[in-house]
Structure 1
């Protein structure tokens, strides 16, 4: 396991290599000193010929960055090692600043010849003493390769300008790749003892899943009403082992009081690719009626086959309108500024946005009352609201209730043509 000492160990190994090999190659350079300082102080307190090995940059290895960790088996997770390419500048110096005998050129050539003949650092050369003893490079899976790194005159000029010293004869090298192992622990899944329930293996379901396109009320109106048949259109629709799941988009207050999805068994429609479903009203099924609130829903077809996972279709939108009753009925008569009472079915949930439209004017309810859950008639009792009739000219006006953006239906389709329902009108005197 390579440690954070790995970079320093590579620098020390390069220094040791040059210190041992350059004088052996050229006896004139027997007094050679190899340093690892910054170029601006490389010659301080150094006499005779010298080489300076300076690490001027590091780069993350693009090839190793995307490799799977060598410590992880297929299916396991682990953090890959930090893979670094090290960039060194090797600078040659003569015996004095005048360097009349061009010794620096001999140092430079000898150093390049050594690195040319020694392109790989062996594991033995990476075993060092002192603080660098535990660098771990000798055991890494990738060998350390030394390659010339061509630099243009412009690149060299920029480097030496940054060093704030005069340019000297030098060569750049890349040492790749240094792998510093991550300390983040990996994870390995336990062996698989069974595939599927009772080791039955993977479940395969033939045939396409149901796809819904729309939920349509029985008449051309923007929302459905409880007790009315809703047509479900789509493809691959069936009534076998299938229910329609309705999920309210209402965000209750407090959030812990979440409305559970409602599932209804559909009937086959009159044409292929069509199902029929009826949200229950208060008279047909009071308990099921109480599980709904006015507002927007998503609907999806859920097919459950014994021993197989459920197949769920895409979801489509459905608006469920509140149904209201005014008191007194047909039509209610009240003076401008008077109070009118109405009931709403299904019950309004806590936190839903509620307003009343009287004619073309919108008002807030004065009171909104739901029965207590302990009430013996809770399952069949709607929400009761009162509101103050706004100032308006005498006449007959339709009344609508808006809950979470969905309006009640003030129209009746009993006659030859649609008409406003007298039971949902108020006469202002």
Structure 2
């Protein structure tokens, strides 16, 4: 999803594409992002004008409902928009400069109709007012398609530009731009048990090799049957039990691929930790692991190698949560004269510079202060901090929340309880 600068970012990126195109045929040409008028232009120019914004018919209601029955926000509303642009070409008609620029523009947009991440990042870097735009991180890519306008539609369109003479023009539509609300929805606590005996959903997939499920738990659970409640996310120091079929071979590896970062971790499974239907690994919680992993979403794949033949399984998603190691100051935390609180949280693994970190407390979501280097220490300034007593806090890194609970084995059987070391009191 994108913030309110998404539309301006798309316009700037499209202007760069058009500018590159027209300068390939007329080196002195340029692009103006304003409305057509009667002002004479001495050199070849293209006027790029966003003349209409309409809801996208396919995605306009994809996020409904955004609120619960009692009116509480459960997810951020998102506006899905289509952008309609008019490109008007001005130049020397004797040498057909408008037609030359039109041909180059149509050629380049048709060849590269999708705004790639690098194009968007270049557009953001070119204009200081776009510095906080996050369109480059959007899941939906912007695609440009030419609009077929009849003579009547074209006449009506140009009639809105008062006293502007008609110029050779073409229209394009950019779709789809998703703009997300800045409201913070209520974040529910994690589910500690899913269904009878915590069995969850059983998946049957094919063909081989196949991953059916991933169980996340404490290291001491590797030999337990039946297993107790699974964790919702993996952390450093936890165990993974991957269940499936046809997971046997001369060499078995598990590949973890981070969905946002250029980070791939591959772990070789020893013979005594694997079988045809189960793979068992324990993630280390040491120095190399603190810098080698990153919180966020991963895809998990099993690689089975026999001789020169390597087969790859299906992929399952895996959320990797940050671990809260320390909270400063200690409880109770006193608000300052302005009612603010500054809280420092030490976590693991380290948070990369491109990752978004936020603190969840009560019904508040507070972004971390900027961290220009990879760090395990994050600072949060809570303005007008709420007065709370033993409130659970969670650290959200790239959309994955830390686990505010711990495993308690006494009295048996083992169960999950909320962690008192992750509770804060603010007075």
| Normalised TM-score (structure 1) | 0.43
Structure with larger Rg? 1
